[in-house]
Amino acid sequence: MTRDYGTARLRDIDSPAFRSLEVPESRSQKNMDNEENIVRMDKWLWAARLFKTRSLAADAIKGGKVKIDGNPVKPSREVKVGDVIQVQIEQLHKVVEVKTVVKNRVSPKQVPEVYTDLTPKEEYERIEFMHAYKAEWRDRGAGRPTKKERRMIEKMKDDM
């Protein structure tokens, strides 16, 4: 059984009446132009090097540690240029403004091109203080500090 694929149809396509018909664009064709600017929140956080893996980024989002304008977001939320994102990474409360929407992970040298860090200087100082204060803490069973360690701890306390 042979099929006729419609040579008449091909002939009709070449007719001036057919050419004058305007075919409306489908929604998917309209969105194809914007697809390169659409990236999920979890993917952008990973690509911008705020998290080591995309799943860690998604877990942080689900845990409410990522917010835009004070409102928690979902991992599937689209990132737009100009968004101000608040991210809690361990004890650090980081605030970044999106400069570029990227799909692929960037190198550490390109990070300043992707986002602007708006985190207050005091936040970084607070983290440094916490790490310095933690230096005095000793593991159980480590024994007493040596004379050298004790002098270093006292010097650190005096500097603060």
- CATH code, 84: 3.10.290.10
pLDDT beyond 90 at 71: yes
The alpha-helical segments, DSSP class H, found in 14-146 are 16-20, 27-34, 41-47, 54-62, 111-114, 121-134
Q: How far is CA 118 from CA 31, 84, 94, 115, in A?
A: 32, 9, 8, 9
Q: What is the pTM of this model?
A: 0.65
Q: Within this chain, do residues 40 and 107 fall inside the same structural domain, yes or no?
A: yes
Q: Quote the number of domains for the chain.
A: 2
For 33-53, the pLDDT digits (tens) are 455 678 999 999 999 999 999
Q: Which residues contact 69 (CB under 8 A, 6 or more apart)?
A: 84
For 128-156, the pLDDT digits (tens) are 887 777 666 677 788 888 899 888 878 87
Separation of first and last alpha carbons in the chain: 91
Q: Within this chain, do residues 103 and 80 fall inside the same structural domain, yes or no?
A: yes
* 41 close to 76: Cβ distance less than 8 angstroms: yes
**104 falls within a domain:** yes
Q: How far is CA 96 from CA 18, 75, 153, 155, in A?
A: 53, 17, 35, 35
What is the C-alpha to C-alpha distance for residues 99 and 81, in angstroms, rounded to an integer?
5
